[in-house]
Structure 1
Amino acid sequence: MEVSKIDFTAAEMGYLWHIYRAQGMNYCILTYFDSICEDNEIKELIRSNMEVSEKYLREIETIFSKNDFPIPIGFTVESDVNFTGERLYTDPLILFYQWFVAKGNLNFGSIAINTIARDDVFYFFDGYISDSLKFLNHSRRLLLEKGLWIRAPYIPQPTKVEFVKKESFLNGWFGDTRPLIGVEIASLFYNIITNTLGESFLTSFIQVTDRTDVKNYFIRGKEIAMKHMEILSKTLKEEELPAPSTWNSGITASTAAPFSEKLMLSLVTFLNSQGLSNYGIAASTSARTDIGINFNRLAAEVAKFAEDGTSLLIENGWMEAPPHAPKRRK
């Protein structure tokens, strides 16, 4: 049996549908970035990303069409991008955004490919992961070359192999609390950075949107991001480790909205999903109980915020229904 001819599984439909909408949104955002970016090296990266994003859209459309699967409406430059001529974001923030997207695509593609049976869908994700790794490396090198890469804290290199001898290794709240280990430091540090990126975009959206319901939601999201950064930074500072600073120069004073409210709100829901994934990984790799509990507590707050964002999308008629199981119960 030709593997590409078997029926779609729920996983294959779900992951392809999600990527189609995410890449449509990404293409719209990159199109605006291309119109305002001044740095030629960053602009070259933007255009490479745009070409690949458009390629994904066409490949998924081909797979869907061959299987009589309805193509999502998603996002379009014509309906969701406003070329205002004003610059809302600086070049460094545009570069950080591309690093963040490549990192998220790599994580998502790596999870998805493990569930795929069909050849055509598997080969799509094989290329998706390969491209994501290439763009992650490209954006990383540009951040380093331009002096923009934010390095995680340094700790002394071990001189010998040691074994844990006390159960207090797990303590975090009381008693003999051990110092943070490397993976815990990394989780705290990089979740501060991703929250900083989210806070920057929320700041820009608050600045340009006129809709009260959407603006209030963005304000609430910014407050949550700032609170989470403070909580995570406090843990690093208690260990006398440096916490990353925010990108105060990432947003200009422009009040002209470059994107539709539908796109802005949808982007925030995607950032929420990425944040929940990051927190889940951080909690599962933290051995100290207080670190794991903190990440679970912060994840619960993001989950509630994400739920309210989804409700807002539904209320405004902006949310397409993803592939779902039939309703068998009356």
Structure 2
Amino acid sequence: MASKNPISSSELGMLWLTFQEKTLILRVLEYFIEKADDQQAKNIMGGLWQELDYYVKKIKDIFKEEGAAIPVGFTSKDVNLNAPKLFDNGFDIMFLRILKEVSMGMYTINLNMSYRDDVMSLYEGLTTITQRVYKLSTLYLLDKGILTVPPHVTMPKTTDFIHEKSYLKGLFTLSEKRPLNDIELGILHHGIETNNIGMQLVTGFAQCSEDKEVKEYFVKGLDLAKQQIKLFQKTLLDSDVQFSATSGCTVTTSTIAPFSQRLMMYCVYLLNGFGLVGSGFGAMFSLRTDLALNNALVSKDIYMYAAEGIRILIKNGWMEEPPQMEDRNGLIGD
């Protein structure tokens, strides 16, 4: 067997980031499993916990082999299994499904930045797990009536190409706006669906947050999610589309935090990154100018909100520092 090449900077960075995300998900799963009443939901989450725990250990082994410090990530100190139930049944799998969406996007980037066989194999394995759990979660939520599918449309009978620049118009009057195409409709539905879950999440986090600044930050996130939902719903209504999205799940009256302030803030940090990618995708693939502009403005709002969250994380000493290059100027001196 050929000896392994030294791990590259991009691989080390991606493994470090994966460790942060996976240890966070493990802590979230531990709480949700403890509070779950539905056995099927417990089975989905319990199976995922075992598989992710295995891969977290593999990442630790790689760090050890390379002589690199093992990240702190999120530990048992970041979860309170004795805290009362913060979310009603169904939210656990709904949120898990969102986390798997985040993971699928991250693994594509992780794999693209990997060069060593064992690192690529690690991300191939994680991708397979994520796709399977995403499917299981989707089918579970549909069966329980918690998740709804986007609107059905008339099947196209012919194919055509765009010949008129008017296809792109949509900034000014309603009369110049063409009907939504199916890609745009899917992007809008997905935006409403994910923001509904985000709204429930930050409501729960704000409700049990002990830090005033952190609480206010989560409330801002709640307002931001509401604004985006209103924007997407208005666009659908203006196009005479009856929108449908997840019925969501309700937050209980508990004010006892199941997670540390640091974990809750980092969780929102991850979701902000996911939101930026989603709005960027929407801006690129929505061909009507008003839709592209709306997605660009949403990206700006998410970025500003995310930047404020990062400042709070750093201010409180909650942001673990990624591995970095040597400070050559500092070593050389003046």
Q: Does 1:269 align with 2:280?
A: no
Which range moves more in the overlay, 165-174 or 297-306? 165-174
| 1:108 CA drift (Å) | 1.3
Per-residue displacement from partner, 1:173-201 (whole Å, max 9, x unpaired)? 14732111111111111011111111111
Q: Which moved more, 1:13-22 or 1:103-112?
A: 103-112
- Superimposed CA distance per residue, residues 120-172 of structure 1 (whole angstroms, 9 cap, x where no aligned partner): 10000110111111111111111122222211112211111122221111112
Residue 7 of structure 1 aligns with which residue?
A: 6
| Residue among 171, 174, 183 paired with 1:173 | 171
Matched, 1:292 2:297: no
Alignment of 1:250-329 (within 5 A): 250-328=250-328
Query: Is the CA contact (8 Å cut-off) linking 1:84 and 1:256 kept in structure 2?
Result: no
- Kindly tell me: are residues 329 and 177 of structure 1, through their superposed partners in 2, closer, same or farther at Cα, counting changes over 3 Å? farther
Per-residue deviation at 1:249? 3.7
Given the two structures, how large is their TM-score scaled by the length of structure 1? 0.95
Return the alpha-carbon distance in structure 1 between the equivalents of residues 59 and 137 of structure 2. 25
Q: Is the 8 Å Cα contact of residues 200 and 247 (structure 1) preserved in structure 2?
A: no
- Tell me if the contact between 2:107 and 2:127 (Cα under 8 Å) persists in the aligned partners: yes
Distance 2:235 2:329 in 1: 48
Which 10-residue stretch deviates more, 50-59 or 144-153? 144-153
1:163 aligns to what? 161
Instruction: Quote how far apart the aligned CAs of 1:111 are.
Output: 2.3
In structure 2, what is the Cα distance between the partners aligned to 1:248 and 1:5?
A: 47
CA distance in 2, matches of 1:272, 1:200: 15
2-side partners of 1:326 and 1:233: how far apart?
49
Match of 1:111 in 2: 109
Hey, what's the Cα distance between the residues in 2 that align with 1:154 and 1:188? 14
Larger mean Cα displacement after TM superposition, 211-220 or 95-104? 95-104
CA displacement, residues 70-110 of structure 1 (integer Å, 9 cap, x when unaligned): 11101112x11112351111221111011111222112112
Please provide the CA RMSD for this pair.
Answer: 1.7
Is 1:243 aligned with 2:243?
yes
What one-letter code is carried by the residue in structure 2 that aligns with 1:32? Y
Moved more, 34-43 or 98-107: 98-107
Number of residues paired by the alignment?
A: 328
User: Is the CA contact 2:30–2:81 (under 8 Å) kept in the aligned structure 1?
Assistant: no
Moved >3 Å (runs of 4+): 244-249, 325-330
- Hey, what's the Cα distance between the residues in 2 that align with 1:174 and 1:231? 16
Equivalent position of 2:144 in the other structure: 146
Deviation at 1:48, TM superposition (A): 0.8
In structure 1, C-alpha distance between the alignment counterparts of 2:90 and 2:329, rounded to whole Å: 52
Identity of aligned residues (%): 30
Equivalent residue for 1:186? 186
Residue type at the aligned position of 1:8:
I
Q: Compute the displacement of 1:248 (Å).
A: 5.6
- What is the TM-score normalised by the length of structure 2? 0.94
1:84 & 1:243 partners in 2: Cα distance?
Answer: 39
Corresponding letter in the other structure for 1:55: Y
Q: Mark the runs of 5 or more structure 1 residues left unpaired by the alignment.
A: none
Return the letter of the residue paired with 2:117: D
CA contact (8 A) 1:37 1:90 kept: no
